[in-house]
Amino acid sequence: MHADKDLTDSGIAAYMHGLGRAARAAARLMARADTATKNRALRAMAAAIRAQSAALVEANRLDLAKARAEGRDAAFVDRLTLDAAGIEKMARGVEQVAELPDPIGVISEVRKRPTGIQVGRMRVPLGVIGIIYESRPNVTADAAGLCLKSGNACILRGGSEAIHSNRAIAQAIAAGLAEAGLPHTAVQVVETTDRAAVGALITMPEYVDIIVPRGGKELIARLMREAKIPMIKHLDGICHVYIDDAADPDMAVRIADNAKTQRYGTCNTMETLLVAEAIAPAVLPRIAEVYRAKGVEMRGDDAARRLVPDMRAASEEDWRTEYLAPIVAVRVVRGLDEAIDHIETYGSKHTDAIVTANQAHADRFLREVDSASVMVNASTRFADGFEYGLGAEIGISNDKLHARGPVGLEGLTSQKYIVLGHGEVRA
């Protein structure tokens, strides 16, 4: 089927159900594939990506031409571009997944019970993963690699803007699967660009076990309204750094600087700085100097503006805003309790940090701030699968259930109970 082919909605639903059935069947074979076979497929995929480099660039050129013809901006074109370096990085990424330990089949927590049975847990794949993403074609290879290593089948639905690139990458993936004797239906790229395909993918729980959306807020909002399948979903990153009265001032300045300015557009960038009133006179003017030099606009409450007079006044809206830009909201708080209250009220449960030398304050912050990542004396920018040592990341979850924070291979698995007996029956 081709992207340009005209299909009715029911035709698309039938097509998507076909992919679903095939994925479900492939998932059974993937669940029992051994580590060596999965790694062979991953390495063959990487080799095929490298071998087909010229064809990938050619396919990508078609997508780029369309994007330019449609007047897309430079950032969009940048995300869409696959050059030789990007292709090598993609291949290397797939090889790195091969090097990660295989989570599947690992048995843990085995305990002998008084009845004689042994009870433990075995890590198993989730089954079929649906990935919905936009523009960046490298997600096709990254996601396929992670799903394959974790013993899942997957259905990949990239954006229409990258359809030629995604199809070309899919051919390299198929070559890798074939070389290892794994079913080609273990990784399926949706061939139609019709939006109805997404609608079908997120409403067939009989075939798809979890949806991982990778895209902007509009995409996530639509999926949350319509999906009938659980999602690993990533919402806002309204991250805070709280400078406690017991903070080391130099450390406070360094972390406030890094958390805001090391990169502006990432979800783990600090958006609001909270400063205890006792330490604010000592640190806030110094931090303002750093921000001023880097062109970061400050928006503060009255107390902050008394210490830094050139600061704009913050509105209620500022506390709720993920700027993703060189803007920072600043608030002076009485102390730890007011900082935790502020984070509870305005935060997005993503990543929040305290700077303090007071162990009791650090402990309370760690325990009481209800976010996926909570940090002591470190920059929020560390909230990342690679920085955490997960090896690779399929996404970040703001949810509390199943997966929380950066999601690696483990987030694509489940644990079942296993019982090993010797003929025991219940009395």
- Give whole-number Cα distances, 401 to 17, 134, 148, 352, in Å: 28, 25, 23, 19
Q: Which is nearer to a copy of itself, 257 or 318 (CB)?
A: 257
345 binds a copy of itself (CB under 8 A): no
* Residues 311-340 close enough to bind a copy of itself by CB under 8 A: none
- 200-203-209-215 Cα dihedral, nearest 10 degrees: 70
Kindly state whether residue 368 participates in binding a copy of itself, applying the rule CB under 8 A: yes
Query: Is residue 102 a contact residue for a copy of itself (CB under 8 A)?
Result: no
Is 215 in contact with 132 (CB distance < 8 Å)? Answer: yes
Chosen residue from 375, 392, 394, 409 binding a copy of itself by CB under 8 A: 375
Residues 22 and 78: their CA atoms lie apart, in Å, by 34
Closest CA to 165 of 267, 47, 86: 86
Residues 206-235 within binding reach of a copy of itself (CB under 8 A): 209-210, 230
Beta partners for residue 108, in sequence order: 121
Q: How many CA atoms lie within 13 A of 125 on its CB side?
A: 27
Question: Rule CB under 8 A: is residue 54 a binding residue for a copy of itself?
Answer: no
The answer to whether 128 contacts a copy of itself (rule: CB under 8 A) is no
Least Å distance between CB 8 and a copy of itself? 27
Q: In this chain, which of 90, 406, 408, 409 binds a copy of itself, going by CB under 8 A?
A: 406
The footprint of a copy of itself on residues 253-282 (CB under 8 A) is 254-255, 257-259, 262
Closer CB to a copy of itself, residue 104 or residue 308?
104
CB 120 within 8 A of CB 418: yes
The yes or no reply on residue 101 touching a copy of itself (CB under 8 A) is no
Q: Which residue lies nearer to a copy of itself by CB, 64 or 372?
A: 372
Nearer to a copy of itself, 195 or 228 (CB): 228
- Which window, 37-45, 132-140, 191-199, 364-372, contacts a copy of itself (CB under 8 A)? 364-372
Contact 175, 50 (CB under 8 A): no
Residue 126 in contact with a copy of itself, rule: CB under 8 A = yes
Distance CA 369, CA 205 (A): 34
Residue 349 phi, psi dihedral angles, 5° rounding: 60, 30
The yes or no reply on residue 421 touching a copy of itself (CB under 8 A) is yes
For a copy of itself, the binding residue among 381, 392, 393, 398 (CB under 8 A) is 381
Q: What is the DSSP string of 147-209?
A: HHHTT-EEEEE--GGGHHHHHHHHHHHHHHHHHTT--GGGEEE-----THHHHHHTT-TTT-S
Residue 74 touching a copy of itself (CB under 8 A): no
Q: How far is the CB of 23 from a copy of itself (least distance, A)?
A: 14
Q: How far is the CB of 409 from a copy of itself (least distance, A)?
A: 14
| Cα first-last separation, the chain | 59
Handedness of CA 346, 219, 168, 13 (dihedral sign): positive
Binding of a copy of itself by 382 (CB under 8 A): yes
Interacting residues with a copy of itself (CB under 8 A): 28, 31-32, 105, 111, 113, 115, 117, 119, 122, 124, 126-127, 209-210, 230, 248, 250-251, 254-255, 257-259, 262, 344, 353, 355, 364, 366-368, 370-379, 381-383, 387-389, 400-402, 404-406, 414-426
